[in-house]
Amino acid sequence: MSDTTPARNAQTASPCVMVIFGAGGDLTKRKLLPSLYNLSVSGLLPERFGVVAVDRLEINSEAFRDRMSEDIRTHVGGDFKQDIWDDLVRRLFYVQGDFKDSASYEHLGGLLEQIDGEMGTPGSYLFYLATPPRFFGEITRQLGAAGLAKETDSVWRRVIIEKPFGNDLDSAKALNRELHDSLEETQIYRIDHYLGKETVQNILVFRFANGITEPIWNHLHIDHVQITVAESVGVEHRASYYEEAGALRDMIPNHLLVLLSVIAMEPPNSFQANAVRIEGNKVLKAITPLSPEDVLTHAVRGQYAAGAMPDGEQVQAYRSSPGVASDSHTETFAAAKLMIDNWRWAGVPFYLRTGKRLAAHYTEIAIQYRRAPFIMFRNTPVEHVRPNTMVLRIQPSEGIELSFGAKLPGPSMNLGNVEMDFCYADYFGNPPTTGYETLIYDCMNGDATLFKHAETVEAGWEFVQPILDVWHALPPRDFPNYAAGSWGPKPAGELLRRDGRQWRRITPSRRDRAT
């Protein structure tokens, strides 16, 4: 499914009203409204549709529309279509209220009835909780008490929540219980915008629709897998959140384990939501638990010091960032090795790493295949045979890269490395996208395939919890331990070197080099 071009088989989304709690934050103007605009450009937004913004700002609907109109052009790419925005913004309403005040929900309910009458929407509502996590339980409880979460045969009510889904295993379980007090699991859509990226969705198609990939997607042919989510930026304006979370909590139970589950799952019986999610859950539950002793050798943490980025920019250390303690023990880098205890992946290590102020902004999954036998090259100038590597690039330019050996021209038997590089934009264009279009569209249509189930969330935390416990009990003594602009602390390299492997050298794709 393409996010912003009219899909051949895609139908207009189900008529509804989208209610955004916490609409005064950046997410609404940077991602959510641009996504709705892109869906409208694609012809996928229903004609019977409305948007209600809820926040504490003391303004009216007209003033809120003016605010959103001021910088919408900044957050949507391509040729801006003023008529599309004009049509969307007239459907935008604002409610000033307190998330903890029941009267605010009564007011909201009255406005929704009014919009249903004016816009012809049928009473189906999508509630998007763009709020701090501490409000998730409160808002859903208030929605339930006000009757706004009640579904009928003809009316649906769904709630989207953003990560973090808890900050450890116990809090994740508590949040799930709190949500289930007011909502059925089928009404809860836990969003991870990584699953809205085309490459992540295409992994399923690439694996299961091509006879050349799936037969060799197992321990018999794959040596190991590396998943990298590297950020070149620092903590920016998120210090208050990041000091509590750190790289491990912020990225691994969410983004990296999402990528892992898609890469490692068994073929689902269909592309129905439950079938896909069941197989993803099985992968996470099959991860071998880490003992406290394992954590010492299977997990690495780091914090960046001052340094120079590749473009020459001099940046300060994490501890010098506003809002960060001068002796902070918060990790800005985390890496881990894990094993999946099932037949397909027996003996294949998965290496995960993520960090801030690294040498590049890059997200990729690298599958390294087993090295071909050298025996037939013994009496030739060939010194070694390089293993094949398949790289699934997720950002900045989405695509797939495959490296393989080929004979160099000439009379001698010499091998060179060849790269086949497929970029989505070259074949399918590069339409404007925020990564949220597909997810919002799917939620409107009741398709939960790309959203996290409660079991998925808890299974992810079950892997991470032992690392959290050991790192809490043994504060780091060497922070900061890597320079900004590098690829992380030295122990991260040791994580692979102990196994006779090394991190893949990440280089820009052909398209990135061209731009």
Per-residue DSSP letters for 295-343?
HHHHEEEE-EESEE-TTS-EE--GGGSTT--TT----SEEEEEEEB-SS
Residue 251, Cβ neighbours under 10 Å: how many? 22
Residue 268, Cβ neighbours under 10 Å: how many? 18
Residue 95 pLDDT greater than 70, yes or no:
yes
**Is residue 480 reached through a cis peptide bond, with omega within 30 degrees of 0 on the bond before it?**
yes
Among the CATH numbers 3.30.930.10, 3.40.190.10, 3.30.465.10, 3.40.50.720, which is that of 16-162? 3.40.50.720
Give the pLDDT band of residue 508 (cuts 50, 70, 90).
low
CATH for 196-434+455-514? 3.30.360.10
The percent of residues above 90 in pLDDT, for the chain, comes to 66
> Token pair for residue 191?
């969003």
Res 1: pLDDT? 38
> Token pair for residue 369?
């295949």
Element (H, E) at 20: strand 16-21
Alpha helical stretches, state H, 184-254: 198-208, 239-251
pTM of this structure: 0.88
Cα 292 to chain center, whole Å?
Answer: 28
Question: What residue segments make up the domains of the chain, in order of their start?
Answer: 16-162, 196-434+455-514
Residues 6+ apart with CB under 8 A from 312: none
Instruction: Report the DSSP beta bridge partners of residue 417.
Output: 405
Instruction: Report the DSSP beta bridge partners of residue 60.
Output: none
Radius of gyration of the chain (CA): 24
Residue 4 pLDDT greater than 70, yes or no:
no
First to last CA, the chain: 26
Residue 375 pLDDT greater than 80, yes or no:
no
User: Coil, helix or strand for 469?
Assistant: helix
Residue 266 pLDDT greater than 80, yes or no:
yes
Residue 416 pLDDT greater than 70, yes or no:
no
d(CA 362, CA 505): 12
For the ranges 74-83, 317-326, 430-439, the lowest mean pLDDT is seen at 430-439
User: Per the residue annotation, which of 224, 255, 298, 453 is the catalytic one?
Assistant: 255
Find out whether 439 and 193 touch, Cβ atoms under 8 Å: yes
Phi, psi of 140 (to 5 degrees): -65, -35
> Token pair for residue 385?
């045979």
pLDDT tens-digit profile of 271-296? 778 888 899 999 999 999 999 999 99
pLDDT tens-digit profile of 459-480? 999 999 999 999 999 999 999 9
State the chain's mean pLDDT as an integer.
88
The percent of residues above 70 in pLDDT, for the chain, comes to 89
pLDDT tens-digit profile of 50-86? 999 999 999 999 999 999 998 888 888 778 899 999 9
Mean pLDDT value of segment 395-410: 78
E-assigned strand segments in 385-456: 389-395, 399-407, 415-423
User: Coil, helix or strand for 31?
Assistant: helix
d(CA 164, CA 156): 25
Residue 8 pLDDT greater than 50, yes or no:
no
Give the pLDDT band of residue 514 (cuts 50, 70, 90).
low
- The yes-or-no answer on residue 75 being catalytic is no
